Structure 1
Amino acid sequence: MRSPPQNPHDLSRHDIPDILKTIHAEVRERFGQHAGKVADYIPALAQASPDAFGMAVVTLDGDVHTVGEAHAPFSIQSISKVHTLTLALDKAGDDLWKRVGREPSGDPFNSLIQLEHENGIPRNPFINAGAIVVADVILSHYDDPEAALLAFLRERSGNPDIGRDDEIWESERKSGYRNVALANFIRSFDNIENDVQAVLDFYYFQCALKMNCIDLARSLQFLACRGKCPSSGEQVTSIERARRINAVMMTCGTYDAAGEFAFHVGLPAKSGVGGGIVAVVPHVMNLCVWSPGLDQKGNSLLGGYALHRFTRMTGLSVF
């Protein structure tokens, strides 16, 4: 007689603290030459140590498990694009997809190449060009976009102290020449409606926010819970939109390495050049890893390795 199939969502089968401890030990063995290269095109980010590492697991039941520097705040950078996409879809609905696509770019996150051939419509909302269009949509629908984003992040994470890192914000403003080029190029196709500098200032603001691994994992729990906040019961976004955001994260959330990430990790995820990666295990948990050393595609090298090991050790992937 066959035994019944195991429930893949049953966390009682896994000793999460022990798994995280094992992963942390493996990651520490890779410090040094295998830790990747810290982003230096934003000067303030270049100060981070490539050997830093933190990881947090937050289950839908509210359990929190951490290792390493999971409580250390860091620049969330492009992870913020998931939050701004959620806010923009709440106001613009499916009309947003007339201005930004949902396809992987196959090019670096700050590339201008495709905009010329595709009439100023960015491939997806997670590359810089797409996030700039999303920022423009938010400026059109919120009287105080920065306050709206902060309120959203603080409520979703439960941390009222989340704020902007002024040094990183100023560094991005002074060094963001390619983003200036992207925004003006998109504007030339009439796909930006507000003042270009105002759009860029909001974009730099969202990227310069600082959070830790626990904050970030909690802030996107609604994506693991069919659009609902598991702690408050609030329906943050619709079931359908949560599904769609997860889908775009899976196909586009790690830039032109999305295929490799899906192959090795198998979870919807979003990375940032500050070294963070947030991943969603639908119906189960959220994870966040942080390690500032990046691979050639701009994703945390040790963070990606840690998530790969976690899904291999637990079997918790969408495939």
Structure 2
Amino acid sequence: FTLKMTAITQYKNQECVGGNISLLMQAFRKKFIIPEFAEFAEKINKIYKTVKNQDEGKVANYIPQLAKFSPELWGVSLCTVDGQRHSVGDTKQPFCLQSCVKPLQYAIAVHELGTENVHRYVGMEPSGVKFNMLSLDDDDKPHNPMVNAGAIVISSLIKVKHFMNFVKRIAGQEFVGFSNATFQSEKETGDRNFAIGYYMKEKKCFPPGVEMIDALDFYFQLCSMEVTCESGSVLAATLANGGICPITDERVLSAEAVRNTLTLMHSCGMYDFSGQMAFHVGLPAKSGVSGAILLVIPNVMGMMCWSPPLDRVGNSVRGIHFCQELVSLFNFHNYDDLRHFVKKQDPRKQTGDDNIGSMFQLMFAAHNGDLSALRRFSLFSMDMDQKDYDSRTALHVAAAEGTHSLFECRQRLEQQIDAEDPQKLSTVERQL
């Protein structure tokens, strides 16, 4: 019996490994986008605990179903472009997407119809007014797809029947539900959205043949779709991965649709806080009045933060604080990679990568006799004593190559002059 079970186990192991050898090789070699993932997850947990102490904000009450959530709920999930997952807090509790559905419906519309066709009916500029204002741009179009007017028009462009399945594909077939109670509440309390709809009907904002009431009804349905933090993080990760779901490896959205969506999330995604979010956090994000924040770190990961208490503009207090703490610790801000910028932690690099890179640059400059590069390294406090795999310093390399002019730098590197290489020759002896 034992032998039989062992044989089956070995066969199953071979079957599993055979189809996933590339994935396993990445894991064993620490070649995932976050190589030290356990360490990174611990830092996420610390940020989560710090932010949990925030007790400001109020739960949205203008939609009765939203008012029922406890202000103590707080969850964060992340999914990297390689499918690495981490969750902390209330991450299995379903909640409505609300305005977090707007980037998804826009991405699907562009994927199916193309950028030009979609933007015949909606603009791409920040509105400068509240998200639910009766306001159009100079061409009598909604300012962008991230405000209510724009999302209602986008609802008239996409197919109702397959939208739920499309979102499930973006979420890697993980949980995507629907709250009928929220849908009914939206319809009963949606006077402002009805006013926006009729205003746009008067201005002929909808495509020919579209019934405004049908588009509005579909918009209410979209806002009532449910996810958890865990499934929501996969939605964000698919956007971070250029439209390919990291869980199923399926190309769900076109690269064009994702690029456009992230651009608009970055400039218009956070209500009246969009400018500050772009300034302080520097990442594409979309918030909803359910307390959700969909955060995308392009080419790295997607995150879903959820906490019902909102600030005065309708963003999750804990969610905003989490995003700010995340970027203060890690170099995820869009402009953190600028030269001479204060260095933050980069979880994309394996421990020791920086040292290896700096040593390679130093030795390469010494090999080529590049004095300007060596002076620059010295000014930036690089360790000029570091040794390569053969225990040689930069001066040993320069001496071996016969780069006489390098000895002009000897005062800066005087501590190396008498160092011996593995052949027991000092740098001076080798040069001679």
TM-score over 0.5 for the pair: yes
Aligned counterpart, 1:27: 51
Matched, 1:91 2:112: yes
SS in structure 1 opposite 2:303? strand
Aligned counterpart, 1:15: 39
Matched, 1:104 2:126: yes
Q: Which amino acid aligns with 1:301?
A: V
Cα 1:148/1:186, change in 2 over 3 Å: same
Aligned counterpart, 1:70: 91
Q: Distance in 2 between matches of 1:104 and 1:14?
A: 39
- Displacement of 1:25: 1.6
Matched, 1:174 2:188: yes
Q: Which amino acid aligns with 2:176?
A: I
Contact 1:227–1:239 (CA<8 Å) still a contact in 2? yes
Aligned counterpart, 1:238: 254
Contact 2:243–2:253 (CA<8 Å) still a contact in 1? yes
Q: Distance in 1 between matches of 2:282 and 2:89?
A: 23
Contact 2:78–2:234 (CA<8 Å) still a contact in 1? no
Aligned counterpart, 1:288: 304
Q: Which amino acid aligns with 2:100?
A: I
- Displacement of 1:13: 8.0
- Displacement of 1:225: 1.5
- Displacement of 1:91: 2.5
Q: Which amino acid aligns with 2:98?
A: Q
Q: Which amino acid aligns with 1:110?
A: N
Cα 1:214/1:312, change in 2 over 3 Å: same
Q: 1:218 aligns with which of 231, 234, 254?
A: 234
Contact 1:79–1:276 (CA<8 Å) still a contact in 2? yes
User: Could you list the runs of 5+ residues in structure 2 that have no partner in the other structure?
Assistant: 1-32, 336-432
Q: 1:80 aligns with which of 89, 101, 117?
A: 101
Q: Which amino acid aligns with 1:131?
A: A
1:197-222 deviations in Å (ceiling 9; x for gaps): 21111000000111111111102322
Contact 1:106–1:255 (CA<8 Å) still a contact in 2? no
Aligned counterpart, 1:5: none
Q: Distance in 1 between matches of 2:75 and 2:206?
A: 37
- Displacement of 1:173: 0.4
Aligned counterpart, 1:51: 72
1:281-300 deviations in Å (ceiling 9; x for gaps): 11110011001111111111
- Displacement of 1:242: 1.5
Q: 1:135 aligns with which of 139, 152, 155?
A: 155
SS in structure 2 opposite 1:118? coil
Cα 1:229/1:289, change in 2 over 3 Å: same
Contact 2:108–2:257 (CA<8 Å) still a contact in 1? no
Which is higher, the Rg of structure 1 or of structure 2?
A: 2
The one of the two structures with greater contact order (alpha-carbon pairs below 8 A, sep at least 6) is 1
Q: Distance in 2 between matches of 1:296 and 1:241?
A: 31
Q: Distance in 1 between matches of 2:252 and 2:173?
A: 17
- For normalisation by structure 2, the TM-score amounts to 0.67
Q: Distance in 1 between matches of 2:95 and 2:246?
A: 25
SS in structure 1 opposite 2:156? helix
Q: Which amino acid aligns with 1:123?
A: H
Q: 1:277 aligns with which of 285, 290, 293?
A: 293
Q: Distance in 2 between matches of 1:39 and 1:119?
A: 33
Higher mean C-alpha displacement, 70-79 vs 40-49: 40-49
SS in structure 2 opposite 1:98? coil
Matched, 1:125 2:125: no
Task: Count residues in correspondence.
Answer: 301
Q: Distance in 2 between matches of 1:47 and 1:10?
A: 37
- Displacement of 1:10: 5.0
Contact 1:132–1:200 (CA<8 Å) still a contact in 2? yes
- Displacement of 1:232: 3.2
- Displacement of 1:16: 2.3
- For normalisation by structure 1, the TM-score amounts to 0.89
Aligned counterpart, 2:348: none
- Displacement of 1:271: 0.7
